[in-house]
Structure 1
Amino acid sequence: MKVGILADRLNRPRTGIGNYTYNLIKELDSIDPIQNEIFLINYELNDLFPNLNKIIVPNPLKNIIEKSFYIWHLYLQSKLKKTNFGIDIIHSPENATPFLKIKPKKIITVHDITPFLFPGSFSSLTLFRYRLLFRRTLKTADKIISDSYNTKRDLINYFNVPDEKISVVHLGIDEKFRVLDVNTVDRIREKYSLNYPFILYVGTLEPRKNIPTLIKAFCEIKNKNSIHKLVIAGKKGWKYKDIFNMIDELHLRDEIIFTDYVPYEDLPGLYNAADLFVYPSLYEGFGFPPLEAMACGCPVITSNSSSLPEVVGDAGLMFDPYNYLELKLKICDILTNSHLRDDLVKKGLKRVADFSWNKCSRETIKIYQEVYCQKNII
């Protein structure tokens, strides 16, 4: 069985989908490479995964148009309609490509349907691309992988995708996220000048992440003379100005610290340094940060929406994301109850053992084999 994976995400700074693509390929490279031959399809050669086969389809507009990788996908699909490049299955690790009927059997991974539920969080170009291509992508795929049962339900409810066409494969977390030694954590504290106890949030500053609810809950806690500060780690996304306006109105400028984007290698130390991690997001296709925090021994509070209960299970506290007073009570419970805190830390460390990239890759291979066998029967 020869599987081609669209690997153009490896050319760009890695975020969510890029991390998924990288870790999936990394594990596939180490699992039975003889029986399952992996080909990376890209528009340029890079130094990653030197042992894997490469299919390079040059991007004719790379040096002319910024973000021309969208156009490259169109160009690639025109090629795939004419030839299969010697592969049996093609796997696209992201939602909206490819959308044409092509010669190899086609598998796509759908992480979420955020552009349809929260269009204000995306550029007009991204929304146009999704609205134009996504439904056709779902229709022409031979199999769909979703990160969570919640995303599977969304695909069934919003797009009428047949249940049997979707397989759920939970993602993994990087082994870098673990309990660290005191000296390592102290270096991160010093780097970011965090010489005080703090509550942590990690994620983009945008409406879907529901940061104002966290700020209002934190304000209630400060009114009770809490010694904790709130650290918000993440880059500015869309419509973030309301967050700063609220902070000024509540006179919390000195109590809330914004680190901006934190490099991936610093995140484990940041989670380790925090007394509590809060993730108030309204919608997630999977939700890495709560798992990352738990892997670092940090107790977690997260909203009871979308996929988050499925991911966190009973290892974290849940709250209604529209009820900041409920969140306030949950925060106070953890900060004042050492037995509860210790119990959540213990449950969190146990919970993350269920989410590994090796497990994710092995389950993905089973789907490749299923689609390949269907092809041969036909």
Structure 2
Amino acid sequence: MTLAINARFLTQPVSGVQRYAHELLGALDTLLDTDPALAGRIGPVTAFTPRLPEVMPAWSRIALACRPGASGHVWEQTQLATAARDTRLLSLGNSGPLRHRDHIVAFHDTHLWDMPEAYDWRYRAWHKALRGPLARRAAHVLCVSDHARRALSERLNLPQARVTIVPNAADHIARHLADPTVCARYGLQAGGYLLTVGNASPNKNVARLVAAHRRLEAPPVLVVVGGAVPGMAAARGLSADVAHRFLGRVPDVDLANLMRHARGFVFPSLHEGFGIPPLEAMALGVPVAAAWSGALPDVLGASPVWFDPEDVDDIARGMRALLDQTGAMRARSVALGLAQSARFGWAQSARRLAEVILTPRAA
């Protein structure tokens, strides 16, 4: 067989969907490089992109081919559909050519239906029209968690048996070396701030988090990392002050080190199909307070302090509980977090993906 990959994600800003594609394909490339028999069964693998990315992926088994022409979804429906017409196609980012029938496509969540106001109308209209037919015509459908599988099955009118979980992971965060200068470079003190990560979407619930933080007595600074994402609506009413720092996008190595030096990590998201950032924090030994919502309880396990993300007072209570942890409580939270994050790994997700790639389309 041969395999084509929809690599449009290489030309997009990195959020959770793009992180999934980057890390999963990197792990698949390593797997193919270390398992010649598997590589022989899958055959040649080519990733197609509308233009060359600014940073080239360090793949050895996956070839990269540029097919210029249109852009965005039009490119997927035209240039990509033509380039991949005689191969099995893998799309990991919620979209792909509608008329390709030997297609493995990943959907990450049901945010479009759960919180439509988080998207601009063009994105919302296109994806609502696309995803149902795309899922029903696909050879295989992937998702990232059991919660996402249940929700997608309901929204897309698919039997759960047709949806395979190939989860996210967080072990990529540990490859970034420790940098003791990161706090000084951002004007912070090690252990003197709470950290959250999220784009500007209302779904990330940063406005409520800031409001809850303001209700705390003498809290550490709240640091927010994340930027705008194409197609997403922006939250309103957020502004920086002495107690609230909005850093925008930062390099991955800086994010890893900002996590390492944080007093705690807070994740107030209203809906998540998985939730990579709090799992990353747990993998680095950072205590977490998180929203009891979506896939987060299943993914994060017993480590976090939980709160209701729609209740500002309860978010404040969760942050205070995180800040007030004794040494023993903090050590227990860290140990549970490390153990929970170790349940996920990009290598094991890549092997599960390879099994799906080799599975024929169901009759």
TM-score interval (norm. to shorter): 0.7 to 0.9
Match of 2:224 among 214, 223, 232: 232
- Aligned counterparts of 1:55 and 1:177: Cα–Cα separation in 2: 27
1:135 pairs with 2:135 = no
Letter in 1 for 2:21: T
SS at match of 1:97: coil
- Identify if the C-alpha distance between structure 1 residues 78 and 198 changes in structure 2 by more than 3 Å, giving closer, same or farther: closer
TM-score by length of 1: 0.85
- Identify if the C-alpha distance between structure 1 residues 111 and 94 changes in structure 2 by more than 3 Å, giving closer, same or farther: same
- Aligned counterparts of 2:80 and 2:246: Cα–Cα separation in 1: 42
Q: Which residue of structure 1 aligns with residue 298 of structure 2?
A: 310
Q: Which residue of structure 1 aligns with residue 167 of structure 2?
A: 170
Q: Which residue of structure 1 aligns with residue 113 of structure 2?
A: 116
Q: Which residue of structure 2 aligns with residue 72 of structure 1?
A: 75
Question: Are the aligned partners of 1:178 and 1:296 in contact in 2 as well (CA < 8 Å)?
Answer: no
Q: Which residue of structure 2 aligns with residue 189 of structure 1?
A: 183
Letter in 1 for 2:189: N
- Identify if the C-alpha distance between structure 1 residues 353 and 78 changes in structure 2 by more than 3 Å, giving closer, same or farther: closer
Deviation string, structure 1 residues 69-101 (Cα, Å, up to 9, x no partner): 3211111365269x40xx3x2111121212224
Question: Are the aligned partners of 1:214 and 1:280 in contact in 2 as well (CA < 8 Å)?
Answer: yes
Question: Are the aligned partners of 2:92 and 2:105 in contact in 1 as well (CA < 8 Å)?
Answer: yes
Deviation at 1:327, TM superposition (A): 2.5
Q: Which residue of structure 1 aligns with residue 23 of structure 2?
A: 23
SS at match of 2:238: helix
1:41 pairs with 2:13 = no
- Aligned counterparts of 2:324 and 2:66: Cα–Cα separation in 1: 58
- Identify if the C-alpha distance between structure 1 residues 205 and 78 changes in structure 2 by more than 3 Å, giving closer, same or farther: closer
- Aligned counterparts of 1:179 and 1:346: Cα–Cα separation in 2: 21
- Aligned counterparts of 2:62 and 2:317: Cα–Cα separation in 1: 54
- Identify if the C-alpha distance between structure 1 residues 340 and 129 changes in structure 2 by more than 3 Å, giving closer, same or farther: same
Q: Which residue of structure 1 aligns with residue 266 of structure 2?
A: 278
- Aligned counterparts of 1:179 and 1:335: Cα–Cα separation in 2: 26
1:259 pairs with 2:266 = no
Deviation string, structure 1 residues 221-249 (Cα, Å, up to 9, x no partner): 12xx34x12111222563433233xx8xx
- Aligned counterparts of 1:147 and 1:300: Cα–Cα separation in 2: 21
Structure 2 unmatched runs, 5+: none
Identity %: 25
Structure 1 unmatched runs, 5+: 62-67, 248-252
Deviation at 1:178, TM superposition (A): 7.0
Moved more, 337-346 or 228-237: 228-237
1:207 pairs with 2:191 = no
Match of 1:350 among 339, 342, 345: 339
- Identify if the C-alpha distance between structure 1 residues 80 and 176 changes in structure 2 by more than 3 Å, giving closer, same or farther: closer
Letter in 2 for 1:141: A
Deviation at 1:255, TM superposition (A): 1.3
Deviation at 1:281, TM superposition (A): 0.4
Question: Are the aligned partners of 1:202 and 1:279 in contact in 2 as well (CA < 8 Å)?
Answer: yes
- Identify if the C-alpha distance between structure 1 residues 128 and 361 changes in structure 2 by more than 3 Å, giving closer, same or farther: same
- Identify if the C-alpha distance between structure 1 residues 328 and 45 changes in structure 2 by more than 3 Å, giving closer, same or farther: closer
Work out which of the two has the higher radius of gyration on C-alpha atoms and give 1 or 2.
1
Question: Are the aligned partners of 2:18 and 2:93 in contact in 1 as well (CA < 8 Å)?
Answer: no
Letter in 2 for 1:172: A
- Aligned counterparts of 2:349 and 2:7: Cα–Cα separation in 1: 17
- Identify if the C-alpha distance between structure 1 residues 193 and 363 changes in structure 2 by more than 3 Å, giving closer, same or farther: same
Q: Which residue of structure 2 aligns with residue 65 of structure 1?
A: none
Deviation at 1:180, TM superposition (A): 6.4
- Aligned counterparts of 1:79 and 1:255: Cα–Cα separation in 2: 53
Q: Which residue of structure 2 aligns with residue 64 of structure 1?
A: none
Question: Are the aligned partners of 1:180 and 1:272 in contact in 2 as well (CA < 8 Å)?
Answer: no
Moved more, 124-133 or 286-295: 124-133
SS at match of 2:69: coil
Deviation at 1:123, TM superposition (A): 2.6
- Aligned counterparts of 2:347 and 2:110: Cα–Cα separation in 1: 25
- Aligned counterparts of 1:78 and 1:26: Cα–Cα separation in 2: 23
